[in-house]
Amino acid sequence: MSGVRLLVGTRKGAFILTSDGKRERWEVSGPHFAGWEMYHLKGSPADPNRLYASQTSGWFGQIIQRSDDGGKTWTQPGTPPGERTTPEGTPKAESNKFVYDTSAETGKPLTTHQFYDGTQHPWEFKRVWHLEPSLHDPDTVYAGIEDAALFRSKDGGKNWQELSGLRGHGTGPKWQPGAGGMCLHTIVLDPSNPQRIYVAISAAGAFRSDDAGKTWLPINRGLKSQYIPNPEAEVGHCVHRIAMHRSKPGVLFMQKHWDVMRSENAGELWQEVSGNLPTDFGFVIDVHAHEPETIYVVPIKSDSEHFPPDGKLRVYRSRSGGNEWEALTKGLPQKDCYVNVLRDAMAVDSLDKCGVYFGTTGGQVYGSADAGDNWTPIVRDLPAVLSVEAQTLP
Amino acid sequence: MIRVVLPPHLRGLAHVAGEVQVEIHGAVTQRSVVDAIEATYPMLRGTIRDHVTQQRRPFLRFFACEEDLSHESPDAPLPEAVVSGKEPLLIVGAIAGG
């Protein structure tokens, strides 16, 4: 019987929640990597037992973990104790080494970006925000990092190389950190075109590559951000999340700092679809597994008040690809709720009916086994949830 | 053998409990000790000092014999009590909330 596995990253460890296809009873495994910030975990679409995890700490830096058995055991790729080098004397792997590529042959000069105070500041690696495994190869995985850049590993996470065309696009001096840092947090791979990759950066905006990551195009036309000097600038927008349905890869949905947006043409032009939302600030956005025009957001009151309006935790669903939204409240707290739902903390499964899941900064993970009509808390008391990913298991 | 006490997070990462011991050939310095730790426990590469700059990570401190050695040169000899194995080198995470 099919089942669902949820990969939950929190401020103090990772948790794996599993259920059969009914999605009524859940087993909780964890904390894995207790005490570490687990920004993101994600499974390979080509091999669901291959999982990647970003483990990070302000004290000890960045660690990449990999599981080949669905999360039962984990290793840092290629670094067994006592086996530092190959016979030639070079390290077997450097899975936690993310170094910007400044080589003359393949890289770009390490330039500067705009800092909070408007001065220019050099790029400095801080952490991996998001891991996106290839749709086809379990050993290929992309990493979105802070300060914003895109890395790729083609050997199962053992070694990482920057796709430096993005950082070196030329607009870098105009990129600036959002409140969470200058992070590349969204990576979307086009299932119909292996050359096409979308990324989003806070606060630079959305970018698209049509040559597998060599060169990049800002795709921010139509965005309007009142908090930057030129609200319609080419870059500088604080994009929070982009989502796509695999059957319509040219249609993109975006939750921006403020505004929910939609593009019909692979990001060439965006149109606002906030419609009747109570507030169009928020972080997450996702698409129903079987209905490409059904999308979900969780409105948050404002950029300074990161909690639901009126203390009511409501998921909003649009069945028309935006503009017309309905509040989904059954099973969610409708008073005194002041949690946030962060950008990577919503996911869907591909069962019928579609399961929808999200985690909160209050440590709850809510699930709906009927596309959002009814919700139940799967767990209530985890550390603050940073990310939720769903795997549909055979 | 040089005795080293790692912070709990790094002990977990290296799958060790308690002190670790490393053998140093030549001068016993912060650099040579961290080199030996990284050679024995390659999963700790980058966690004590930065991959690129080789600088001690800012929220880590080095102590030995009740002295803060964090701002000594990484190539300065460690105290004789550490060299002889009488005292451990302590690698300590800064107390900064979290």
DSSP assignment of A340-373 equals ---TB-EEE--SSSPPEEEE-TTS-EEEESSTTS
pLDDT at A172: 92
pLDDT at A88: 63
For an interface test with A, give the residue of B9, B10, B61 to mutate (most A CBs within 10 A). B9
Asked if A99 and B38 come within 8 Å (Cβ–Cβ), the reply is no
Of B43, B59, B98, nearest to A79 by CB-CB distance is B43
Sorted by sequence, the CB contacts under 8 Å of residue A40 that are 6+ apart come out as: A9, A53, A54, A128, A129, A130, A131, A344, A386, A387, A389
Of B9, B40, B59, nearest to A81 by CB-CB distance is B40
Any idea where the domains of chain B sit in the sequence? 2-93
For an interface test with A, give the residue of B6, B10, B11, B13 to mutate (most A CBs within 10 A). B13
pLDDT digits (tens, 9 = 90+) for A251-286: 999 999 999 999 999 999 999 999 999 999 999 999
pLDDT at A61: 95
Asked if B9 and A36 come within 8 Å (Cβ–Cβ), the reply is yes
pLDDT at B95: 76
Of A59, A81, A91, nearest to B41 by CB-CB distance is A81
Is the Cβ of A366 closer than 8 Å to some Cβ of chain B?
no
Handedness of CA A191, A197, A198, A199 (dihedral sign): positive
Sorted by sequence, the CB contacts under 8 Å of residue A225 that are 6+ apart come out as: A231, A233, A236, A237, A238, A256, A257, A258
pLDDT at A322: 98
pLDDT at A87: 62
pLDDT at A255: 98
Contacts of B46 in chain A (CB under 8 A): 61-62, 94, 96-97
- Decide: helix, strand or coil at residue A17: strand
Q: Which of residues 7-46 of B touch A (CB under 8 A)?
A: 7-10, 12-15, 38-43, 45-46
Is the Cβ of A62 closer than 8 Å to some Cβ of chain B?
yes
Asked if A60 and B50 come within 8 Å (Cβ–Cβ), the reply is no
Q: Which residue of B has its CA nearest to A98?
A: B51
pLDDT digits (tens, 9 = 90+) for A313-327: 999 999 999 999 999
Contacts of B9 in chain A (CB under 8 A): 35-36, 57, 59-60
Contacts of B8 in chain A (CB under 8 A): 35
Is the Cβ of A36 closer than 8 Å to some Cβ of chain B?
yes
pLDDT digits (tens, 9 = 90+) for B42-98: 889 999 999 888 999 999 999 999 999 999 999 999 999 999 999 999 999 987 654
What is the least distance, in Å, from the CA of B39 to any CA of chain A?
6
Is the Cβ of A89 closer than 8 Å to some Cβ of chain B?
no
pLDDT digits (tens, 9 = 90+) for A146-161: 999 999 999 999 999 9
Contacts of B39 in chain A (CB under 8 A): 84
- Decide: helix, strand or coil at residue B12: helix
Asked if B60 and A84 come within 8 Å (Cβ–Cβ), the reply is no
pLDDT digits (tens, 9 = 90+) for A197-227: 999 999 999 999 999 999 999 999 999 999 8
- Decide: helix, strand or coil at residue A309: helix
Per the document, the length of chain B is: 98
Fold annotation for B2-93: Ubiquitin-like (UB roll) (3.10.20)
Report which residue type is found at A67: S
Mean pLDDT of the region A337-353: 98
Residue A51 has pLDDT above 80, yes or no: yes
Report which residue type is found at A142: Y
pLDDT digits (tens, 9 = 90+) for A59-92: 999 999 999 999 999 999 987 655 656 666 566 6
> Hey, what CATH class is A36-340 in?
mainly beta
For an interface test with A, give the residue of B10, B21, B37, B43 to mutate (most A CBs within 10 A). B43
Handedness of CA B46, B51, B53, B54 (dihedral sign): positive
Contact A375/A330 with Cβ under 8 angstroms?
A: yes
Percent of chain A topping pLDDT 70? 96
Residue recorded with tokens 């870098």: A172
How far, in Å, are A47, A169, A198, A208, A377 from residue A212 at the CA level?
A: 21, 15, 10, 10, 39
Contacts of B38 in chain A (CB under 8 A): 84
Find residue A40's DSSP bridge partners.
Answer: A54
- Look at residues A127, A288, A263, A124 and name the one whose alpha carbon lies nearest to residue A198: A263
Is the Cβ of A91 closer than 8 Å to some Cβ of chain B?
yes
Of B39, B42, B93, nearest to A59 by CB-CB distance is B93
Q: Alpha-carbon dihedral of residues A89, A92, A95, A97, nearest 10 degrees?
A: 10
What is the least distance, in Å, from the CA of A13 to any CA of chain B?
12
Contact A377/A5 with Cβ under 8 angstroms?
A: no
* pLDDT band, residue A5 (cuts 50/70/90): very high
Find residue A186's DSSP bridge partners.
Answer: A200
pLDDT at A81: 58
pLDDT digits (tens, 9 = 90+) for B2-42: 999 999 999 999 989 989 999 999 999 999 999 999 988 88
* pLDDT band, residue A123 (cuts 50/70/90): very high
- Decide: helix, strand or coil at residue A173: helix
